[in-house]
Structure 1
Amino acid sequence: MGTTGDGDSSPTRPKWRKVAYGGMQPGFDDNHTDETFLAGMVTNASVVKRDIGKVMQDSISISQYLCIVALVVLVWTYTLRSSLSENSLLILDIALLVSGFLILTLTEEMVSFSLLFHYFLNISFFTTGLYVLAPIYQTLTRSISSDSIWAVTFPLLLLHLFLHDYSGSTITAPGALKNPNLTSCISLNASVVASVFIASRLPSRVHVFAIMLFSLQVFLFAPLITYCIKKYSFRLHLVFSVGLMGVTLALVYALHPLVFVLLLGIFIFVTVVCPYWLIRIQAYKFEINGPWDEAKLCFDITD
């Protein structure tokens, strides 16, 4: 009696296929892989190669806003020392408002009369509300010492700087699709509370109104103005930022040389050290992608 070979008696084993959603394949375990499994492995597929010059240019926006906050603190300090009168503060407020409108008009391509009127109407209501609420702000912290006010204001400013959106502006034009995120709102609220605390230490109603108007103009509209300048011309943005750093450092040096050294060190750390550090640590980044990653379904919806 003849016998048949093993190859004839057993059916041909099906070939294993790599599928995302197909269940168990007959003849193979659910976790089976063959010799081609690691052939699809890719390392550092989505790692962005960064240029140190580009990173340093992007970091200037952070140093620029640090200058803006430092200038606000300088104005607060000189006001509390009675070096700035209420009339000087009002002139400064008007100058900032006019220059902001001019920059917005010259740099924005889609600015219309209706949009400018919308901004002007909102600012009118804004300034009227500040003037009405000035007596309340003046007496808000009468029973609290000045040292306690500064002790609370400093962490609030740090929180503001830490959560601030350095990639865009705090406010957007009417009808814009992008709205400020939660961290930007928290950052703005921290700056407003800090401004109220500082304003409550001033002696007169006009003083309180002037310093609150100045602070809120800077914290609300300065990010929008600097964003418009950067979008209009990056070279103009660099010139404006470098000039702002120079003015800030000169004013801080006149106030205290030690603070000048500290602020200069922060600028160097943010603009030079951090970009170099980021480029250096990119060499240690190791990202692995392969068939074991979660499948991503792509749907092509066409008319």
Structure 2
Amino acid sequence: MVMDASLHANSSPKPKWRKVAYGGMQPGYDDNYTDESFLEDMVMNANVVRRNLLKVMKDSVSISQYLCIVALVVLVWVHTLRSTLDENSLLALDLTLLASGFLILLLTEEKMLSLNLLFRYILNISFFITGLYILAPIYQTLTRSISSDSIWAVTVSLLVLHLFLHDYSGSTVRAPGALKNPNLTSCISLNASIVASVFASSRLPSRLHVFAVMLFSLQVFLFAPLVTYCVKKFSLGLHLLFSFALMGVTLSSIYALHRLLFVLFLVVLVIVNVVCPYWLIRIQEYKFEINGPWDEAKLCFDIRD
């Protein structure tokens, strides 16, 4: 009777295998055992984002727009150093940019800009302009003992660093009335542009030249991302129109300065707006992602009232 009971116990069917997340091994199976049902839950390319070429090209316009803005800043520096742009014209340009920026903010962010906030902005800018005018003689003599070749090499390197680390998506832009903490890369990018402006203005002949160029540069580097972000959020069509108009002005200005630079900048714009989006769409075909029961578990909470 004892032998019959043991034989009956040994011939009992093995329990069905099931996937156990916690609780150890299942009796009768190795810890690394899987059956044919293990791959039934496999999903391929579940999280892969399918991009549209036209949308990617529209998004790349923001990069070309800011490249044109930085190029125009450099053109103003060059014309000022060549004495083809005097300090009175620069001051008029500064006032025009300042008034245009406030007008764009009022038209695009009328729900967020109050009179108190606008008054506070005007007061802060007044203190900023006054301090910049007082510090202009220091900026003018700051790099007097350094050779011009070293100054231009450092300035170009800082501008490249600024463009490389700049936030083209606008995620760190501080909108009017909003509180956002900029990340480390955007802070480095902004500081690099300010130091480059100081180095470039230190080669100018007079205090008023230094003040006008520094005011122009800081207006562009500090407020241009905010203005372009507000325009893009207000209307995509207006953003595209403004961007293409800015590209045309920049290309014509560079063409008047140097033909080779015009060709190089045109090639850069074509690469940014056409070649890179097309390349991104093509390499998406080779992206392959597998998800299945081996992935890390994700907790889902069903919160009901």
Map of 1:184 onto structure 2: 186
> Could you tell me the TM-score, scaled by structure 1's length?
0.95
Deviations 1:124-166 (A, max 9, x none): 1111111111111111000112121111111111110010000
Cα distance in 2 for residues equivalent to 1:12 and 1:113: 81
Deviation at 1:173, TM superposition (A): 3.6
| CA deviation map 1:8-28 (0-9, x unaligned) | 223443322213333322332
* C-alpha deviation, 1:295, in angstroms: 1.5
Task: Give the match for residue 95 of structure 2.
Answer: 94
Residue matched to 1:64: 65
Q: Structure 2 vs 1, CA of residues 35 and 6 (structure 1 numbering), >3 Å: closer, same or farther?
A: farther
Match of 2:168 among 152, 159, 166: 166
Structure 1 partner of 2:105: 104
Structure 2: runs of 5 or more not aligned: none
Residue type of the alignment partner of 2:178:
A
Where 2:27 maps in the other structure, the secondary structure is coil
- C-alpha separation in 2, matches of 1:169 and 1:90: 31
- Measure the CA separation in 2 of the matches of 1:141 and 1:302: 65
How much does 1:216 deviate? 0.5
Alignment-derived partner of residue 8 in structure 2:
8
C-alpha RMSD of matched pairs (Å): 1.9
Measure, in 2, the Cα distance between the counterparts of 1:169 and 1:122. Answer: 24
In the alignment, residue 298 of structure 2 is paired with which amino acid? Answer: K
Number of the residue aligned with 1:35: 36
* Contact 1:163 1:183 survives alignment (8 Å): yes
Q: Which residue of 2 aligns with 1:249?
A: 251
Deviations 1:268-302 (A, max 9, x none): 00000000000110111111111111112233455
Partners in 2 of 1:266 and 1:234 — Cα distance?
A: 23
Summarize the Cα distance change of 1:72–1:20 in structure 2 as closer, same or farther, 3 Å threshold.
same
Number of aligned residues: 303
Amino acid paired to 1:132: I
67-76 vs 2-11, greater mean Cα deviation: 2-11
Aligned partner of 1:244: which letter?
L
Corresponding residue for residue 157 of structure 1: 159
Which shows bigger deviation, 47-56 or 33-42? 33-42
What SS does the corresponding residue of 2:40 show, helix, strand or coil?
A: helix
Q: CA 1:7 to 1:52, structure 2 compared with 1: closer, same or farther past 3 Å?
A: farther
Quick one: distance in 1 between partners of 2:286 and 2:146?
51
Give how far 1:200 is off.
Answer: 0.7
SS at match of 2:225: helix
C-alpha contact (below 8 Å) 1:45/1:287 kept by paired residues: yes
Residue type of the alignment partner of 1:205: R
2:96 counterpart of 1:117 = no
Task: Indicate if the aligned counterparts of 1:131 and 1:209 stay in contact, CA closer than 8 A.
Answer: yes
In 1: Cα distance, 2:215 partner to 2:274 partner: 34
Quote the offset at 1:186 in angstroms: 0.5
- Check conservation: 2:39, 2:292, Cα contact below 8 A: yes
The residue that corresponds to 1:279 in the other structure is: 281
Q: Find the aligned partners of 2:295 and 2:156 in 1 and give their Cα distance.
A: 46
Question: Structure 2: how far apart are the matches of 1:7 and 1:297?
Answer: 45
For structure 1, the 5+ residue unaligned runs are: none
Secondary structure at 1:110 match in 2: coil
Partner of 1:228: 230
Tell me how far apart the structure 2 counterparts of residues 100 and 138 of structure 1 sit (CA, whole Å).
27
**Cα shift at 1:201:** 0.7
Query: Given the two structures, how large is their TM-score scaled by the length of structure 2?
Result: 0.94
Distance in 1 of aligned mates of 2:59 and 2:7 = 68
Equivalent position amino acid for 1:75 in 2: V
Tell me which residue corresponds to 2:208.
206
Q: Are the counterparts in 1 of residues 251 and 265 from structure 2 also a CA contact under 8 Å?
A: yes
Moved more, 25-34 or 51-60: 25-34
Taking the aligned partners of 2:226 and 2:144, their CA distance within structure 1 comes to 34
2: CA distance between counterparts of 1:188 and 1:195? 11
Asked whether the 8 Å contact 2:81–2:203 carries over to 1, the reply is yes
Deviation digits for residues 149-208 of structure 1 (CA, Å, limit 9, x no counterpart): 111111111110010000116641465243211111110000001000001111111111
